[in-house]
């Protein structure tokens, strides 16, 4: 039983619910969610009354004065919008959205040739996919901290991973993972275990959540389904290798020395229906010995699956019983865990139980001891397994030895001390590991703290994404926003600072100090092969029916006042923004031709279209740029 410092009636009731949780059927859990919503609201009202003074005194940090900049960046997944969101913190202001997997009409992502090349197209030139479901975003590391080079984000629906350049905040590459469905967890390594001098990210690890036939031939027998754990090269974005496993992958974590990656598994039963997926009382945290896997691939000890040429090594139980040669290790953890996170002191991975009220602390040195044959049983790497509350999901850290875990069914965040939890697990029942609890509204999923999973975790702020908002905002019909709540964790007690409604459904996010980033605010013209570097280079260049139109924009005019085409021309329109001033963005739209895109200062973009409609069409600048912005137009005359 957990050891709250100040026992209350609410805690006692929670303990009763937790005991019930261990034997509850799924139908009971559903009812419990509904009950908890009601009790959570009343409990929240009581808590807000006692804490209102502290909240009001601290909340002013989220209200920045005009011209004042935030001290942290936040990178959020965009959910079904298929993008990445950039927030300033502590204000919570959304600054930018970075399109990657899904077309974006604002900037012309999915319209321009350059963006289509990144997104991927079919033979007819149409986009490969128009939908996505982004869940997790993480950034590249150096020396155990973020280095400002890249961020990555997953598309769960179509098993794709996108890379974001953090100098320009743009997506520059998208990779499809072969033989994977339900690509969920993602995490870059923090160092290279093969070369200890490389203390920065060289790989990105990707978990396959849904087990499928390999190759996928539509086999109905679920016992033959398998999942794959995938490694992508951080620079080339090519798939380096995959691991065949028992069970599935959920979230992913990596160690600071680069030697271990891990994924929590909630379906070790390998069931195809939900009741089968929750039959066992324990599942697993699956560890991957990265250096051994790389060595096996180099030695040719792999196979390939279907049409894919990617090396696949065997990480199943049966093939990895000998610790000294094993590529993988399955650590037993309680039921249907949802989340695995690495502590900033580099000592532990923590798995939260979801259908068990517990969190499991796994010591990484002991996992390595098992691989070296120095530990008899891999489960002896567990150094604590303690109760936290109902529905524990994800864990963040403050760098002071404390962990923060979301309790989905209790609608709370619990703050607990890892060292005290280890002492309690060893038998010291006086070790008070639960430090604080705070109600959130409602059903929290992901959370993260400032610099949480880095060596520089600073314990200043924590954000938590609540899946239901209910009574927190003005009603806007049946589709409610989600509620991102912002919490001060700098003191002993957590203090709620702000609520922010967000369009669903974001999932994960990271928060890091602004001085780790130096974004460029104007492009380099030489980076664009098609750049029209001088207005004098503008014109219509014909090669039969294939026509290239070269244009420049410089406020308040395009370089050509008009240009002529013939009906049936296959046109490539190239536009370069020659303005060099920060924030002077131009756009261009062609009525009736489904074309609109923007070009930032010194950027070049292009589109293809067929001039199949005769007439006069006014191309105009779509981004306000000058006092004569409305007059910034050019005529496209298509002769019949």
Token digits of residue 413:
């965040």
**Interval 370-385: pLDDT, tens:** 999 999 999 999 999 9
Can you give the pLDDT at residue 161? 98
pTM exceeding the 0.85 threshold for the entire prediction: yes
Residue 52 has pLDDT above 80, yes or no: no
- In percent, the amount of the chain with pLDDT more than 90 equals 88
For residue 234, what is the DSSP state?
Answer: T
Q: How confident is the model over 487-501, as a mean pLDDT?
A: 96
**Interval 230-265: pLDDT, tens:** 999 999 999 999 999 999 999 999 999 999 999 999
Q: How confident is the model over 523-542, as a mean pLDDT?
A: 97
Can you give the pLDDT at residue 392? 97
Round the average pLDDT of the chain to a whole number and report it. Answer: 92
Residue 135 has pLDDT above 60, yes or no: yes
SS3 390: coil
Report the first-to-last Cα separation within the chain, whole angstroms. Answer: 81
In which element (H, E) is residue 148 found?
Answer: strand 145-155
**Interval 262-281: pLDDT, tens:** 999 999 999 999 999 999 99
Do 109 and 538 meet the contact criterion of CB atoms below 8 Å apart?
Answer: no
Better pLDDT: 194 or 236:
236
Q: Among candidates 249, 254, 276, 274, which has minimal Cα distance to 264? A: 249
Can you give the pLDDT at residue 59? 58
Residue 416 has pLDDT above 90, yes or no: yes
* Domain 525-639 class in CATH: mainly beta
Can you give the pLDDT at residue 84? 97
Residue 39 has pLDDT above 60, yes or no: no
The Cβ of residue 560 has, within 10 Å, a number of other Cβ atoms equal to: 18
Can you give the pLDDT at residue 504? 84
**Interval 309-345: pLDDT, tens:** 999 999 999 999 999 999 999 999 999 999 999 999 9
Half-sphere exposure of 190 (CA within 13 A, CB side): 20
Q: How confident is the model over 148-154, as a mean pLDDT?
A: 98
Residue 476 has pLDDT above 60, yes or no: yes
Can you give the pLDDT at residue 61? 87
Residue 27 banded pLDDT, cuts 50, 70, 90: very low
Can you give the pLDDT at residue 50? 47
- In percent, the amount of the chain with pLDDT more than 70 equals 91
SS3 for 188-199 is: ECCCCCCCCCCC
Residue in the structure block whose two tokens are 């090594």: 313
Domain boundaries, the chain: 177-340, 525-639
Residue 558 has pLDDT above 80, yes or no: yes
Can you give the pLDDT at residue 337? 95
**Interval 338-362: pLDDT, tens:** 999 999 999 999 999 999 999 999 9
Q: How confident is the model over 43-62, as a mean pLDDT?
A: 54
Backbone φ and ψ for 337, nearest 5 degrees, come out as: -65, 150
Do 40 and 439 meet the contact criterion of CB atoms below 8 Å apart?
Answer: yes
Residue in the structure block whose two tokens are 């013939």: 566
Do 610 and 633 meet the contact criterion of CB atoms below 8 Å apart?
Answer: no
SS3 30: helix
Can you give the pLDDT at residue 26? 39
Burial of 570 (0-12, 13-18, 19+ CB in 10 A): middle
Residue 196 banded pLDDT, cuts 50, 70, 90: confident
Q: Is the dihedral of CA 432, 433, 436, 442 positive or negative?
A: negative
**Interval 53-85: pLDDT, tens:** 555 455 588 899 999 999 999 999 999 999 999
Do 541 and 550 meet the contact criterion of CB atoms below 8 Å apart?
Answer: yes
Do 329 and 292 meet the contact criterion of CB atoms below 8 Å apart?
Answer: no
Residues 258 and 255: their CA atoms lie apart, in Å, by 5
**Interval 575-609: pLDDT, tens:** 999 999 999 999 999 999 999 999 999 999 999 99
**Interval 418-448: pLDDT, tens:** 999 999 999 999 999 999 999 999 999 999 9
Token digits of residue 450:
């400032």
Can you give the pLDDT at residue 14? 41
Residue 116 has pLDDT above 60, yes or no: yes
């Amino acid at each position: 039983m957990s050891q709250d410092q100040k026992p209350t009636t609410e805690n006692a009731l929670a303990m009763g619910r937790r005991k019930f949780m261990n034997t509850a059927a799924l139908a009971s859990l559903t009812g419990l969610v509904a009950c908890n919503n009601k009790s959570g609201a009343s409990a929240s009202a009581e808590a807000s009354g006692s804490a209102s003074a502290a909240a009001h005194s601290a909340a002013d940090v989220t209200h920045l004065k005009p011209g004042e900049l935030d001290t942290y960046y936040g990178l959020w997944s965009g959910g079904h919008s298929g993008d990445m969101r950039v927030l300033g913190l502590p204000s919570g202001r959304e600054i930018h959205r970075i399109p990657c997997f899904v077309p974006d009409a604002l900037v012309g992502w999915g319209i321009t040739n350059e963006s289509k090349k990144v997104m991927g197209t079919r033979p007819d030139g149409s986009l490969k996919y128009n939908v996505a479901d982004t869940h997790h975003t993480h950034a590249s590391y150096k020396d155990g901290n973020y280095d400002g080079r890249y961020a990555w984000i997953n598309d769960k629906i179509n098993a794709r991973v996108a890379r974001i350049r953090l100098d320009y905040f743009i997506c520059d590459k998208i990779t499809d993972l072969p033989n994977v469905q339900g690509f969920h967890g993602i995490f870059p390594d923090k160092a290279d275990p093969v070369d200890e001098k490389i203390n920065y990210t060289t790989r990105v690890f990707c978990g396959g959540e849904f087990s499928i036939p390999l190759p996928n031939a539509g086999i109905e027998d679920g016992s033959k389904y398998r999942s794959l754990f995938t490694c992508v090269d951080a620079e080339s974005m090519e798939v380096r290798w995959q691991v065949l496993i028992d069970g599935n992958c959920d979230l992913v974590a990596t160690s600071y020395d680069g030697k271990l990656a891990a994924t929590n598994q909630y379906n070790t039963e390998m069931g195809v229906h939900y009741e089968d997926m929750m039959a066992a009382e324990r599942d697993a945290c699956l560890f991957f010995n990265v250096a051994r896997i790389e060595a096996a691939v180099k030695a040719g000890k792999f196979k390939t699956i279907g049409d894919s040429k990617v090396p696949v090594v065997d990480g199943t139980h049966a093939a990895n019983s000998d610790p000294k040669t094993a590529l993988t290790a399955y650590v037993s953890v309680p039921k249907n865990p949802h989340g695995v996170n690495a502590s900033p002191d580099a000592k532990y991975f923590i798995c939260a139980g979801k259908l068990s009220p517990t969190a499991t602390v796994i010591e990484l040195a002991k996992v390595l001891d098992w691989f070296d044959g120095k530990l008899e049983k891999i489960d002896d790497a567990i150094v604590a397994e303690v109760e936290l509350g109902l529905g524990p999901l994800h864990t963040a850290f403050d760098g002071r030895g404390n962990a923060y875990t979301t309790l989905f069914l209790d609608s709370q965040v619990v703050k607990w001390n890892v060292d005290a939890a280890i002492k309690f697990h060893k038998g010291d029942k006086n070790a008070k590991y639960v430090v604080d609890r705070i109600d959130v509204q409602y059903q929290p999923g992901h959370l993260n703290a400032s610099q949480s999973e880095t060596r520089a975790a600073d314990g200043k702020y924590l954000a938590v994404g609540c899946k239901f908002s209910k009574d927190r905002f003005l009603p806007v019909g049946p589709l409610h926003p989600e509620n991102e709540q912002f919490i001060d964790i700098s003191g002993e007690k957590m203090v709620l600072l702000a609520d922010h409604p967000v369009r669903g459904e974001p999932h994960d996010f990271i928060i890091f100090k602004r001085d780790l980033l130096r974004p460029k605010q104007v492009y380099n013209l030489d980076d664009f092969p098609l750049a029209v570097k001088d207005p004098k280079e503008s014109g219509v260049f014909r090669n039969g029916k294939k026509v290239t139109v070269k244009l420049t924009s410089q406020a308040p005019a395009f370089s050509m006042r008009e240009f002529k085409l013939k009906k049936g021309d296959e046109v490539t329109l190239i536009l370069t923004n020659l303005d060099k001033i920060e924030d002077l963005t131009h756009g261009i739209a062609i009525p009736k031709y489904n074309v609109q895109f923007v070009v930032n200062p010194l950027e070049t973009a292009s589109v293809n279209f067929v001039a199949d409609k005769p007439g006069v069409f006014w191309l105009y600048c779509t981004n306000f740029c000058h006092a004569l912005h409305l007059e910034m137009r050019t005529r496209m005359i298509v002769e019949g």
